[in-house]
Amino acid sequence: MQKYSIFNLIKNAFSGHQKWDLAWKDATPKKKYDVVIIGGGGHGLATAYYLAKEHNITNVAIIEKGWLGGGNMGRNTTIIRSNYMHDDNALFSEFGMDLWRKMSQDLNYNVMFSPRGIINLAHSDAQMNVFARRGNSMRLNGIDAVLLNREEVKEIIPMADFSDNVRFPIFGGLMQPSAGTARHDAVAWGYARQADSMGVDIIQNCEVTGFDVVGGKIQGVRTSRGDIKVKKIGLCVAGSTNILAEKLNMTIPVETHLLQACVTEPVKPVLDSVVTFGAGHFYISQSDKGEMVMGGDLDGYNSYAQRGNLPTLQHVLTEGIAMMPFLSKLKMLRTWGGIMDMSMDGSPIIDKTHIEGLYLNCGWCYGGFKATPASGWTFAHTIAQDRVHKLNEGYSLSRFNTGHLLDEKGLGTKTWIS
Amino acid sequence: MLNIKCPHCGMRSQNEFSYGGDATIKRPELNKEVSDQDWDNFVYNRKSLRGKHKELWQHISGCRQWIKVERDTATHEIFKTVKAHEDI
Ligand SMILES: Cc1cc2nc3c(=O)[nH]c(=O)nc-3n(C[C@H](O)[C@H](O)[C@H](O)COP(=O)(O)OP(=O)(O)OC[C@H]3O[C@@H](n4cnc5c(N)ncnc54)[C@H](O)[C@@H]3O)c2cc1C
Ligand SMILES: [Zn+2]
């Protein structure tokens, strides 16, 4: 593989940048693989990369029905954080933070990881108490957390509404300074390029249509481009998990819902951290291009539409304008939506299943982008060793049966509310 | 914007409704032995179909009645709405 470096950049300038190697080849499906990963989003690509890198399993195919990174991987708002209270979520995410910090070097690809910090705003004394508790839990797990008072928040985001006469005054906030953002497409491309270079076949425009299961064991997978024999399958299809689960006669603790996001026209740098509103569901950051990147609630009813509906957007932006009134002056540039695998306790599933050779990775809800490296790493381990790693022990499928839920927000099983 | 025909009030905008999820989920009968699996299926497990989906909505800013709606989850086309106690 051609290394991306300043020297190669200069060298290739002499040939007008026409002679760069392709970042990955367009593979056609072989008849047989050791492992097939379904879904060419972040999690599928990262899983294949760590299978090859950490476990020397390279006879692997990633099967993607559309184009690489065209699902939620290319639709998210790129927030990366580990500000969780529960140990399982905190330790898993913080392991991921470490991988994020090394990612550009590790992949030889600039993923533009930008640890600009995230601030969760509090609008009451009670919320400040809850944040103090969460912050302390984070620090006990070695994660950086700072409780900010009103004045300290004002110093960081003076453009927020600090007037006396607001419905949800800002009391303070909980900040994780090491949190941030990265360029989502670059993460997908970086993993794809490295996985390909180690021998992984990336097969796009190929839809998985069924499975060969004999005697409770995976024997193969059926695709729109032919049948493939394989003994181990990793399912990483995010918002399509329910559809493929049905083909496996499984019903899973996940519902499919639509989440929207939007960006404004680009403006000069004004906001250098990620901020979430505490009295509703709204969050904002500013992209390197200057666009204000915003999102919030689900559309609120089961959906596979991959495009959103206006009432939710209006509701979310009303919260945004309450928090930062200057936003009302900006023009909206684009809105879009992605279909989300919403689990019943808000936490993901990375586990084996009752079918031998079938491994499940789903339930990412609002937070699967940041989980990309840790999810790929632990899922690769689970597939390669046929047992879960300590880091994803808590993300079991059986926890719903045994009552060991990971309900970070304490919201219960109405996925469209959480 | 969805327009939902409340069987009590007529055609109204989605803003007047709140969502209640899959309408085919039945609570297990509690006077009988309930297996863990039955309970899981009631509380957690969902088919979340792509295509026709029977679901509950409440006309919360209208008559406040619960209703059943049959809607396509990919196109949002609404085929049928009935009162909560009626079959859909
Ligand atoms: C608007 C929005 C904002 C978000 N913001 C954030 C955020 O700020 N921070 C964060 O951490 N997370 C965020 N998320 C969540 C995050 O994007 C997802 O949880 C994560 O991308 C899911 O994992 P993935 O990348 O593998 O999924 P995807 O990219 O969706 O990958 C799944 C792939 O499977 C493919 N597939 C499906 N069915 C089949 C089939 N039958 N055969 C073959 N291939 C198939 C799909 O085409 C798709 O490419 C956001 C999501 C959305 C929609
Ligand atoms: Zn009504």
Q: What is the pLDDT of residues A254-286, one digit of tens each?
A: 999 999 999 999 999 999 999 999 999 999 999
Beta bridge partners of A259: A298, A338
Rounded Cα distance, A76 and A97, in Å: 18
B31-57 pLDDT, tens digit per residue, is 999 999 999 999 999 999 999 999 999
Partners of A339 in beta bridges: A258
Q: Do B47 and A311 touch (CB under 8 A)?
A: no
Q: Which residue ranges in chain A fall short of pLDDT 70?
A: 418
Please report, for residues A9, A294, A315, B69, the alpha-carbon distance to residue A319 in angstroms, rounded to integers and kept in the order given: 45, 11, 7, 29
Give dist(CA B81, CA B88) in Å, integer: 8
Pocket of ligand 1 (CB under 6 A): A 38-44, 63-66, 70-73, 75-79, 207-208, 236-240, 244, 259-261, 295, 338, 340, 364, 366-370
- The structure tokens listed for A140 are 């006990």
DSSP sequence for B46-83:
B---SSEEEEEEE-TTTT--EEEEEEETTT--EEEEEE
**What are the two backbone dihedrals, phi and then psi, of residue A176, each rounded to the nearest 5 degrees?**
-110, 100
- What span, in angstroms and rounded, lies between the C-alpha atoms of A195 and A48? 6
Which CATH class name applies to B1-25+49-88? Answer: alpha beta
Cβ atoms A318, A360 nearer than 8 A? no
* Interchain proximity A400–B44, CB inside 8 Å: yes
Interface residue B1 vs chain A (CB under 8 A): yes
Backbone angles phi, psi at A74, to 5 degrees: -95, 5
Distance from CA of A282 to the nearest CA of B (A): 19
Of B21, B36, B74, the CB nearest to A401: B36
Question: What distance in Å separates residue B30's CA from the closest CA in chain A?
Answer: 18
pLDDT band at B60 (very low <50, low <70, confident <90, very high): very high
The answer to whether the Cβ–Cβ distance between A401 and B74 falls below 8 Å is no
Give the closest residue (by CA) to ligand 1 atom 50.
Answer: A76
Complex ipTM, two decimals? Answer: 0.96
Cβ contact A309–B14 (<8 Å): yes
Q: Could you say which residues from 8 to 37 on chain B have a Cβ atom under 8 Å away from some Cβ of chain A?
A: 13-15, 18-19, 21-22, 36-37
Total count of residues recorded for chain B: 88
- Dist. CA A78–CA A378, nearest whole Å: 21
Q: How far is A345 from chain B (nearest CA, A)?
A: 9
Whether B48 sits inside 8 A of A255 (CB atoms) is yes
pLDDT at position A390 is 98
Half-sphere exposure of A298 (CA within 13 A, CB side): 24
Share of chain B above pLDDT 90, in %: 95
**Verdict on whether the full-model pTM lies above 0.90:** yes
Chain B neighbors of A309, CB-CB under 8 A: 1-2, 14, 76
Per-residue pLDDT tens for A398-411? Answer: 999 999 999 998 88
Find tokens 């109204």 and name the residue.
Answer: B12
In B, which residues are within 8 Å of A416 by CB distance? 19, 21
Beta-carbon contacts of residue A142 (< 8 Å; ≥ 6 apart): A94
Give A344-380 pLDDT, tens digit per residue. Answer: 999 999 999 999 999 999 999 999 999 999 999 999 9
| Binding-face residues of A in 301-330 toward B, CB within 8 A | 301-305, 309-311
CA dihedral (A84, A39, A259, B13) positive or negative:
negative
Instruction: For CA atoms A416, B4, B9, B13, give the dihedral sign.
Output: positive
Looking at the CA of residue A340, tell me the nearest atom of ligand 1.
53
Q: How far is the CA of A93 from the centre of ligand 1 (A)?
A: 17
* Angle value at C-alpha A326, between A320 and A328, nearest 5 degrees: 65
Point out which residues pair with A360 in neighbouring strands.
A235, A351
Which chain A residues are Cβ-neighbours of B14 within 8 angstroms?
Answer: 309, 311
Q: How many angstroms is it from A73 CA to the middle of ligand 1? A: 5
